[in-house]
Amino acid sequence: MLVRRIAAAASGLALALGGVVALAPAASATPQGCFYYVLEHKPDADAQLVEDACLIGAAGGQHAFQQCYHLLREDFVPAVVAGEACRKASKE
């Protein structure tokens, strides 16, 4: 909550001073970011399965997240890594 307030205040200040602030989700919020996140944390993961899961997760929404997560878990990707990776995959 505090982080959002600080970000909003900083953005408002920058705009008031004439600057342009472009806020975007994390730069790694893509299927590619998901893919590399998994392989960074579980190098022995099946690369094709990880790619498929991340592409599924990129659709966004609860259903895509669950499909991505379950596919990664089938390859024994740790739950925390699978969850974070599927969040990174989402384009929302």
**42-81 residue pLDDT tens:** 999 999 999 999 999 999 999 999 999 999 999 999 999 9
Residue 36 lies in a domain: yes
Confidence of residue 9 (pLDDT cuts 50, 70, 90): very low
Residue 19 lies in a domain: no
Confidence of residue 29 (pLDDT cuts 50, 70, 90): low
Residue 48 lies in a domain: yes
Residue 5 lies in a domain: no
* Domain encompassing residue 62: 25-89
Tell me how far apart the alpha carbons of residues 54 and 71 are, in angstroms, rounded to a whole number. 9
Tell me how far apart the alpha carbons of residues 74 and 49 are, in angstroms, rounded to a whole number. 9
Residue 20 lies in a domain: no
Asked if 30 contacts 88 with a C-beta cutoff of 8 angstroms, the reply is yes
Q: How many domains does the chain have?
A: 1
pTM: 0.67
Residue 7 lies in a domain: no
Residue 9 lies in a domain: no
